[in-house]
Amino acid sequence: MNLLSKNNLFPISVFLLVFFGLAMLSTASAALAFSKTGDSYFFLKRQIINGLIPGILFFFIASRFPYYKLKKLVLPIIILAIFFLFLIFIPQFGIETKGAARWIDFWGFSFQPSEILKLSFVLYLAALFEAKKDNVSSLKEGFAPFLVLITIIAALLISQPDLGTLSVIISTALAVYFIAGAKKTHILAVILIGLFSVAAFVYFHGYGMERIQTYLNPESDRLGTGYQLNTALATISLGGFKGLGYGQSQQKSGIYLPEPMGDSIFAIVAEELGFIGISAAIFLFAFFGWQGLRIAKMCPDLFGSLVAAGITFWVLIQAFINIGAMTGILPLTGLPLPFVSYGGTSMAILLTACGILYNIQRLT
């Protein structure tokens, strides 16, 4: 059996990302875990129990369930995902942290509905555009339904508020829309409407204004609003070419670098593994993207092709936004780095999506 055959390259890319993510989470979370629980591997264990184990189970199920049968399930799936988003605003279920409500709790079991939405929206759009494949470029049959869907999703995410997730979902949706055959003018219209809406929300509600100001002028308030970005940049610079060595981070205690096992974990990768580690991480995402888009290109039906492309772009876009935010290319968003940052819901849903992608490959 040739492990490096074309059919095995995609699952290998997933395995490498998961392995790399767990290795980095282990070191990035160690100091915080020990200080809070006395167990340096507390968060790693939780990631394995809450994310990896159910994710592997969902990967196996999704890889065996014929992807084309999902077309009949996309409507209840997207309705369920939106229903979960509504539950966030009900005090008995919603959990608010740091001024944002993004989690729901069912009798001790908590998860992040926006992660479910990312996958369900890709599935729904793929089914919608396949059904309208001859009219995707029309104003009435293609543009109008797409704009209505985006507006509903945007309203729910802005209300949380969660502009980071919104940016990933809209960018992924636009990629799927474009591949399905949308007019460039319609794509541009959605982008302009989205930018205007977000700008208006930021202006009138103030949410995110500090992050934008920090992005434009990171030196203006180094110990205040610009603290995380400046600390992340300093942490990245500490790594140099080779890094300080695995497990040798000086910034991961949480005292210096905020969210070292969350959205700032890329800075820990740079500090401990240096430019070599950064290059390895980017290569792993590029390898995943290459395999995902190869599957999308090979798939003979539009639904499977759009699903594969949508999942691939979702992972790549989120990784780009996270890395861009940590390096000052983009404003801070609070988005996790896929497969690497701490988060059981994210890991489980990502592996489910990868299971669907693998099923598309197996059946084409």
Q: Which of 347, 169, 350 is nearest to 261 (CA)?
A: 347
Beta-ladder partners of 104:
94, 111
Beta-ladder partners of 109:
106
CA 105, 106, 112, 114 dihedral sign is: negative
Q: CA 114 to CA 167: how far, in whole Å?
A: 12
The pair phi, psi for residue 256, each rounded to 5°, is -95, -65
Amino acid 72 reads K
Q: Which of 157, 121, 188 is nearest to 353 (CA)?
A: 121
Give the pLDDT confidence score for residue 127 in this predicted structure: 93
Q: CA 288 to CA 286: how far, in whole Å?
A: 5
Give the pLDDT confidence score for residue 321 in this predicted structure: 93
Give the pLDDT confidence score for residue 2 in this predicted structure: 59
Give the three-class secondary structure for 95: strand
> Residue written as tokens 């029309």?
138
Instruction: Report the alpha-carbon angle 355-359-363, nearest 5.
Output: 175
Residues 6+ away with beta carbon under 8 Å from 194: 150, 154, 170
Give the pLDDT confidence score for residue 156 in this predicted structure: 81
Give the DSSP H/E element, type plus range, for residue 360. Answer: helix 344-362
Burial of 137 (0-12, 13-18, 19+ CB in 10 A): middle
pTM to 2 decimals? 0.90
Burial of 227 (0-12, 13-18, 19+ CB in 10 A): middle
Whether 74 and 356 have beta carbons less than 8 Å apart is answered as: no
Give the DSSP H/E element, type plus range, for residue 101. Answer: strand 100-106
**Total length of the chain:** 364
Amino acid 146 reads F
**End-to-end CA distance of the chain, in Å?**
20
Helix locations, 160-301, DSSP H: 163-180, 184-205, 209-216, 227-239, 265-298
Side-chain half-sphere CA neighbours of 320 within 13 A: 12
Q: How many CB atoms lie within 10 A of CB 96?
A: 12
Residues 6+ away with beta carbon under 8 Å from 236: 266, 267, 270, 271, 326, 327
Give the pLDDT confidence score for residue 111 in this predicted structure: 77
Give the pLDDT confidence score for residue 4 in this predicted structure: 61
Q: Which of 161, 159, 148, 158 is nearest to 190 (CA)?
A: 148
Give the pLDDT confidence score for residue 206 in this predicted structure: 59
Beta-ladder partners of 94:
104
> Residue written as tokens 């593994």?
273
User: What are the helix and strand counts (H, E) for the chain?
Assistant: 14, 3
Q: Which of 230, 278, 239 is nearest to 20 (CA)?
A: 278
Average pLDDT per consecutive 10 residues, the chain (364 residues; last block may be shorter): 70 96 94 88 94 96 94 92 83 63 68 88 93 82 84 81 84 92 87 78 62 60 65 87 88 76 90 94 96 94 95 96 88 86 93 96 87
Q: Which of 172, 115, 169 is nearest to 350 (CA)?
A: 115
> Residue written as tokens 């950064």?
278
Q: CA 218 to CA 228: how far, in whole Å?
A: 10
Residues 278-297 have pLDDT tens digits of: 999 999 999 999 999 999 99
